[in-house]
Amino acid sequence: MDFKIGDDFDENGNVKEHKVNKKIAIAMVAIIAIVIGLVVFFVSNAIFGDSGDDETPVDTQVELSDENVQILYKYVAYKDNGYGNDKFLKETATHNNEFTDEEKMYYILQFLQPSDLQFEGNVNDKKQKVYVLSISKLKSYLPRFFGNDPGFTPPAKMTYKFGFKINDLSVAEFTFSEDEQIYNVVFNKEESKKEELVKPFYTKLTSALKKADGTLILTEKVIYATSEKADDTYNVKIFKDYGHTTTIMENRGLTEEQVKTNPISIDNYLEKAATVTYTFGVNKINRNYYFDSSTITY
């Protein structure tokens, strides 16, 4: 019989097991396993870290130069959309389901591309090229601004100034063909406009806030202005509201040169200006922003 130094024998000469030593060995193995497990846990946590996904979302300020902020502000900034639209300046509250068909078309035309207008060789009696725009293509842009399908009946006629030019022209006249479900579009020269000494409103984007749920809030300041000519001088007024009921400033007897050389600046009236708040929701499917609502506070 083979045996090792240190073995004990029972009364029959058989090797006696070291029960105590075995228990100690088992305990040590268990301890080592626990230590190894803890080491693996802490090392893994150190390497991969906490992704932060479990952190509670918070509201955060966004730089005004942020690309999304600039794009969304342009969507609602009437002064940058050709002839302009003062809907957001006169309605104390506006929701995306409260637009007329003309207003819907005005805002979705922002997304139209030159390639969406097809020239099929037709000209009108004025020898103008007639381009074709399908209603299905036009409607495909509705969700880009409104976030869902709000319903849309094409207006019979519409005039809109694009940011791009076709044949060096940018003012498009739309005429709806119900039988063909298309718009026939011709381009015209922009009518020359008399220079405005005083604009009807002055605006400035002042803040952008991203809410915890992803909603983006843009805040804009606005003042309203009028000018009246009396003999050879002008009376200029600045108002807090669209209805011109609350006067912020009035200057009388100004010459045309004085009005031109001292233009109105909203920066001088930010504390007294009205506030327009634009809310943009987030489409849960494609994560794109869309206009949800706006409010004016005085």
DSSP for 199-258, please give it: -SEEEEEEEEEE-TTS-EEEEEEEEEEEEEEETTEEEEEEESSTTS-SEEEEEEEE-HHH
**pLDDT reported for residue 8:** 44
Domain end (from 192, 217, 244): 192
Alpha helices (H) in 9-98, listed in sequence order:
19-48, 67-76, 87-90
d(CA 179, CA 222): 44
Domain end (from 192, 216, 247): 192
Asked whether residue 124 falls in the same domain as residue 163, the answer is yes
- Residues facing residue 291 across a β-bridge: 280
Asked whether residue 201 falls in the same domain as residue 284, the answer is yes
**pLDDT reported for residue 118:** 96
**pLDDT reported for residue 27:** 62
d(CA 293, CA 217): 10
Q: Could you list the residue range(s) of the whole structural domain that residue 223 is in?
A: 195-297
- Which residues of the chain register pLDDT less than 50? 1-10, 12-13, 15, 46-49, 51
In a domain, 157, yes or no: yes
Name the amino acid, one letter, at 71: I
**pLDDT reported for residue 2:** 40
**pLDDT reported for residue 157:** 96
In a domain, 20, yes or no: no
Asked whether residue 281 falls in the same domain as residue 232, the answer is yes
**pLDDT reported for residue 42:** 55
User: Would you state the torsion angle of the CA atoms of residues 263, 236, 205, 286, taken in this order, to the nearest 10 degrees?
Assistant: -120
Asked whether residue 188 falls in the same domain as residue 211, the answer is no
In a domain, 31, yes or no: no
Structural domains in the chain (count): 2
Asked whether residue 109 falls in the same domain as residue 199, the answer is no
Asked whether residue 177 falls in the same domain as residue 211, the answer is no
Asked whether residue 240 falls in the same domain as residue 160, the answer is no
Asked whether residue 175 falls in the same domain as residue 146, the answer is yes
**pLDDT reported for residue 278:** 98
* pTM of structure: 0.78
**pLDDT reported for residue 190:** 86
